[in-house]
Each structure stands twice: as structure tokens, then as C-alpha cells.
Amino acid sequence: MTALQQLVRVENGTVVADSRDVAEAFGRQHNNVLRDIRTLLDQRPDLALTFERKVAQVEIGSGAQRTTHYYTMNRKGFVVLVGGFKGERALDFRIAFYDAFERMERTIAAMEAEAAALSAPERPSIMDDRDRLRDAIAFVRAAQIAKRCPVARRAWTVAGLPDVFTGDAAIETFGAAGDVDPVVTAWAEDRLEQAHGQRTPTCILFEDHQHWCNAQGIRPAGARGFSQALTAMGVIGFKSSRMQRLNVRLRTMGAV
């Protein structure tokens, strides 16, 4: 049986389902699913762009093969095809496929936003900006003094300066640099922790951000804004087989 998390895949930048997986999940003969697709295309030629006919070689024994075909379909094609399917678990599988489409599309959006953020011009190093360097040194000195004086620490908080006196200071001061979405900053303070050498996929962080916002009853940042906020907060990003962030992880996660 096809695992629910593997119901869809990405082909040429588009999330698609396979007619063979649809047949297996819904307990139908693949030939019947192909017949239903051909009927749809005959009735509605405008659906041609939602289905793509593919050819495959099938082993038939003794090293022999025969040519068969199947269809891939985007989310619209899938919804149209299975809308009339009946059966005890038909509704469950329709929802499972639809959720798989949405998860994969969110992942692609997050990866594209990450790629765009990484390709943006880098901000000049602080060592090349005398004003920024002077301000940073002054900030550190002031924090060192305030840390030893409770009154100064209270004044520091009242002034709206970032809290650099409690644990995970690097995470808690993310919002201090630049114009960062306060929702992403709040999520980072609650959900992220430093982990030297840890590599965490950006799409995992983005999904957690969405779940966290839903639990808080607030609107999450978009994929592009989320990625840009992480970069602005100093969370290092890089691309290997997928977009990842370095030296941070979710508080409830182990090593990835």
C-alpha cells in the first residue's frame, strides 16, 4: 500500500499524483481509472493540461517486458477524477491525497523563497561599515554594564531594547537586526534553540511556524517573508539537496 506521505511527487516543478497510486489507494483496477480519465478528457477537452499521459515498461516474467501507460495529474485533475469515487474509505483517501498536495506545495514555496533569499545581495560585513561597528561595540558595552545592575536592566527592558540577559541570547535577539516580522521573531524565541552543527530543513521550520501560529490564533508569515526574516535574524541558510538552516533546531526536535 502506498504510504500516505508518498502519495504525490514533484515533476518539473509541479506537484502531481500518479494514476497507479490513485488506483491502489482507492482499491480500483488501474484500467478502470484510465477509462475514467479518458472519459473526462472526452467530455472536457479543457482538462487536457491537468492530465499527462506517460509510458512505462512492465516486467511480465522471464526477462520480458511490455509497454503500458499511466497518467499524472495536478491537484485540479485529481479532485475532478476522484470526486465521484465511492467506497468505505473513499473520503479518507480523498482528504489524504489533498493534504499531501498542500504539504508538498507549501514545501516547494518555502524552498523557492529560500532560494530567492539566498540569491539576494548580501549585506556588507559589519567590519566594512565603521558606523555599524561603532554602534555594535557601544551596544555590547552597554549590555555588559546593565547586566550587573538590576535598575539598569529594568530600564533596558522599558526602553524596548532586546533581552540579552537570559538564556539562548542569540535566538532572543534575532529581532534586533533590521525590520523583522514580529510574528516570526516571537515564534523563534519560543520554538528555536541553538545547536552547533545542526542542519534543519527550512520547510520543516516553516511548517512548525504555521502550526505554532495556528495554535496561537495569529496569522503566520508567508513562505518568502518567513525565509527573509530568518536571514535577517542571522540564521545561516545554505542549499544542499534542499534548503537548510545551520546551527538551529526546533526545541522538540532531535538531530535531523
Domain boundaries, the chain: 4-118, 120-250
CA distances from 31 to 19, 20, 221 (A): 10, 9, 44
Query: Which DSSP state fits 222?
Result: P
| Amino acid found at 111 | M
- Within the chain, which residues score under 70 in pLDDT? 1-6, 88, 117-129, 132-133, 136-137, 139-179, 240-241, 252-256
Note the pLDDT of residue 125.
Answer: 63
For residue 159, the model assigns a pLDDT of 60
Please name the CATH architecture into which domain 120-250 falls. Orthogonal Bundle (1.10)
The pLDDT of residue 42 is: 94
pLDDT of residue 29: 92
Residues 6+ apart with CB under 8 A from 150: none
The reported pLDDT for the residue numbered 170 is 38
- pLDDT (0 to 100) of residue 31: 93
What Cα–Cα distance (Å) separates residue 248 from each residue in 117, 173, 179, 204?
18, 14, 21, 12
Give me the pLDDT at residue 43, please. Answer: 92
List residues bridging with 64 in a β-sheet: 61
Tell me the pTM.
0.41
